[in-house]
Chains A and B, each alone.
Chain A
Amino acid sequence: MELFYLVITGILAGFVGSLFGLGGGIIIVPALTLIFNVPVTVAVGTSLVSIVAVSTVAAIDFLKSGRADLELGITLAAATSSGAATGGLLAEYLPARIIYIFFSVILIIAALNMTRPRRIMLIDHKYDSASHTAVGWGLSLVAGNVSGILGVGGGIIQIPMMRTVMKVPFKIATATSSYMIGITVAPAAAIYMLRGDIDPYKSAAIILGAFAGSRAGAAMSYKITSLLLRLLFVIIMIFTAYKMFVRGL
């Protein structure tokens, strides 16, 4: 029965991850630790593998649509993958309570980010190439590091950074971020996998759900604009952040 609930968790994570460009880790790590009582490092490792799966599916759809900027994606992925690999190695030495508290902070940031009006985010301007690449590269290194430690995709840092610092239009930023997430977390996922911090059956069940959920999310990403849905998700995120923070104390 547990496998069934894990598949449902995967579907939810994949759907929401693709829909809001978050990568799914925001749901998988709290669900595994708070509901399934999995140790946080195993939850992070399992989440990273699931993120690679979700990102691969989303990347296919975004690549086919031609919205992803491959040159920008590869440039930033060089930084994010370095950061994620470092984060993955560093996570082994971090106490679990630090990871819980750090995760709750990231959840709050993601929730606040989601409260920004969507109509402003959808305004696109003429785009030739990204600006302030060096600053973007440095911030991508930090985003990658967060991914490696917390098992999140990094989109919550990457997309706003691309939009505000690098002046990349929202649609291109989302597509490029989705393309990059898999490349970003793959080195960290390999580290967790080789260290034994991945539960094969739990991961398999979540991946199975995530495959299906992310396909649905990518297909509906431009159809769902409900403010109510976003607000509901923000409330859930804040509540989850509180639970994670309490677990870390």
Chain B
Amino acid sequence: MKDNNTLSLRIAQILRILEYSALTLILLSLGLYLFNIDKALIGAKAGIGLIVFAPVTGILATAVIFFLNRSYKYMTLSLFILLIFIIAVVVSI
């Protein structure tokens, strides 16, 4: 197993990029909303969508990292979580 801290840092970097992207979208949408601009709703929904789907990216990154480290048991568990997410989305549509 590769150094756990290195794995954690990689996942943290991915999550941080998503965090700032979502925050920017939300800030923009709230700014637009205060000026009564219709596009605000699209921005708010996109920001929320990015936040909801951020853990999916985290899980995918975790699965890839576990795969690269030949930890197939944890890779399978990561993919199982991803499958639950997909089922939840499909059932709700």
A236 on interface, CB distance cutoff 8 Å: no
Once bound together, how far apart are the Cα atoms of A101 and B85, in whole Å? Answer: 28
- The residue in chain A whose Cβ has the minimal distance to the Cβ of B30 is A204
Once bound together, how far apart are the Cα atoms of A3 and B49, in whole Å? Answer: 20
B28-67 vs A, CB cutoff 8 Å, 1 = contact: the mask equals 0110011000001100110111011111101100100010
Report B-chain residues with C-beta under 8 Å of the C-beta of A60: 12, 15-16, 19
A-B contact pairs, 24 of them (CB 8 A): A49-B52, A52-B51, A53-B19, A55-B55, A56-B15, A64-B8, A81-B84, A85-B88, A182-B55, A183-B55, A183-B59, A183-B81, A186-B55, A186-B85, A187-B88, A190-B88, A191-B89, A193-B48, A201-B30, A201-B41, A204-B30, A204-B48, A205-B30, A208-B27
Which residue of A182, A191, A208 is within 8 Å of B92 (Cβ)? A191
Tell me, rounded to whole Å, the shortest Cβ–Cβ distance linking B68 to chain A. 13
Once bound together, how far apart are the Cα atoms of A85 and B81, in whole Å? Answer: 11
A66 and B77 contact, CB distance less than 8 A = no
A56 and B55 contact, CB distance less than 8 A = yes
Interface residues on A, range: 35 or more
B74 on interface, CB distance cutoff 8 Å: yes
Once bound together, how far apart are the Cα atoms of A193 and B58, in whole Å? Answer: 20
A194 and B89 contact, CB distance less than 8 A = yes
A74 on interface, CB distance cutoff 8 Å: yes
Report A-chain residues with C-beta under 8 Å of the C-beta of B55: 52, 55-56, 182-183, 186
Contact A63 to B47, CB < 8 A, known contacts A75-B74, A187-B88, A190-B52: no
Which 10 A-B pairs give the minimum distances between C-beta atoms?
A194-B92, A200-B44, A187-B88, A63-B8, A186-B55, A63-B12, A66-B5, A85-B88, A182-B55, A204-B44
A187-219 vs B, CB cutoff 8 Å, 1 = contact: the mask equals 111110111001011011101100100000000
Once bound together, how far apart are the Cα atoms of A205 and B27, in whole Å? Answer: 9
A34 on interface, CB distance cutoff 8 Å: no
Tell me, rounded to whole Å, the shortest Cβ–Cβ distance linking A50 to chain B. 9
A201 and B44 contact, CB distance less than 8 A = yes
Which residues of chain B have a CB within 8 Å of any CB of chain A? 4-5, 7-9, 11-12, 15-16, 18-19, 22-23, 26-27, 29-30, 33-34, 40-41, 44-45, 47-49, 51-56, 58-59, 62, 66, 71, 74, 77-78, 80-81, 84-85, 87-89, 91-93
B92 and A70 contact, CB distance less than 8 A = no
Which residue of B22, B56, B80, B93 is within 8 Å of A53 (Cβ)? B22
Once bound together, how far apart are the Cα atoms of A3 and B26, in whole Å? Answer: 13
Once bound together, how far apart are the Cα atoms of A81 and B26, in whole Å? Answer: 26
- The residue in chain B whose Cβ has the minimal distance to the Cβ of A49 is B48
A162 on interface, CB distance cutoff 8 Å: no
Once bound together, how far apart are the Cα atoms of A231 and B59, in whole Å? Answer: 37
Once bound together, how far apart are the Cα atoms of A64 and B16, in whole Å? Answer: 11
- Counting chain A CB atoms within 10 Å of each CB, the highest count among B7, B33, B55, B58 belongs to B55
A207 and B12 contact, CB distance less than 8 A = no
Report A-chain residues with C-beta under 8 Å of the C-beta of B9: 63-64
